[in-house]
Amino acid sequence: MRSKLLIIVLSTVILSSCSTHSTSNAVSFNQSKESALLAKAELPNDFIPQNITIVSAGDSLTEGVGDSTNRGGYTHYLKDKLEEDKGINEANFYNFGVKGNRSDQLLKRLNSNKVKTAIGDADFVILTIGGNDMMKVVRENFSNLNMQAFQKQKLIYQDNLEQVVTTIREENPRSMVVLVGLYNPFLKWFANITEINQIVDDWNETSKNVLAKFPETYFVEIDDLFENNSDELLYEDYFHPNDKGYELIADRIYETLKEEALLKLPNKY
């Protein structure tokens, strides 16, 4: 690429020295300028690796419960994957995951100065939320679980999620928002109860519908990872992911970002 630019510069010098008319000089200058711009346009997006900032917020999946390394669940696997990408120099993560958080609690925490400051500088905001909203229904209706109770809570979750994305957008209009979907945490306990899978699918569709209202939002499907994988992906509590589970979640997030979102990063240099 340097030799190409050198040829362009030498061509400009030669053309200028051979010309004796001011109009000819102007034409030569414009031609060389256009050639330089064309050469610049041909540079690949990853010619200069970028530093990116990622805010991770949400529940125990962001905090990393079940991660034996205590390095933040999926986030350290995702950091490694991103920094292996030739277009990224360094991926800086700010982890605001809190075990047990529901969507209403996440919404409150987004208004803290610490979180707002981090979001203001973020290229991506990755969310894991909704699992504890579902668990609230299970705990409050354990002896009498019914679809109506899940539907009622889903509407509350839907409204909270929309406010969450709105809050992020108000703080940083250019950040891309990524929501990691829900998976069925009861497969080990209630493998034969198909209604649970239906509920998870319904809540995931609700999440997609909310994201569709906003630009630059991405949904990451993960329920199939836990449903169709023969490997053991759950921690000893049979609820949270284990190391392998978190690694697969990170792979799926990276695949989603790689397809489109990473290509939209502004070149900061």
Distances (CA, A) of 33 to 17, 29, 44, 51, 98: 16, 6, 20, 30, 54
Handedness of CA 54, 243, 190, 237 (dihedral sign): negative
Given a contact cutoff of 8 angstroms between Cβ atoms, the answer to whether 24 and 32 are in contact is no
pLDDT value of position 21: 43
pLDDT in tens, the chain (269 residues): 433 333 333 333 323 333 334 444 434 434 444 444 444 444 455 468 899 999 999 999 999 999 998 888 999 999 999 999 988 999 999 999 999 999 999 999 999 999 999 999 999 999 999 999 999 998 888 778 788 899 999 999 999 999 999 999 999 999 999 999 999 877 666 655 668 889 999 999 999 999 999 999 999 999 999 887 657 898 888 889 999 999 999 999 999 999 889 988 876 43
pLDDT value of position 36: 44
Q: At what angle do helices 147-171 and 131-140 cross, to 10 degrees?
A: 150
Given a contact cutoff of 8 angstroms between Cβ atoms, the answer to whether 242 and 208 are in contact is no
From 224, 235, 221, select the one nearest 180 (Cα to Cα). Answer: 221
pLDDT value of position 268: 44
pLDDT value of position 57: 98
Return the domain boundaries, the chain: 2-41, 50-264
pTM for the whole structure: 0.80
The two tokens of residue 62 are 């962001």
- For 57-117, what is the HEC assignment? EECHHHHCCCCCCCCCCHHHHHHHHHHHCCCEEEEEEEEEECCCCCHHHHHHHCCCHHHHH
From 262, 264, 258, 197, select the one nearest 224 (Cα to Cα). Answer: 197
Report the C-alpha dihedral over residues 11, 14, 20, 25, rounded to 10 degrees: 30
Handedness of CA 214, 220, 221, 226 (dihedral sign): negative
Which letter does DSSP use for residue 241 in this model? B
**What pLDDT digit, counting tens, does each position of 65-115 carry?**
999 988 889 999 999 999 999 889 999 999 999 999 999 999 999 999 999
CATH class of the 50-264 domain in this structure? alpha beta
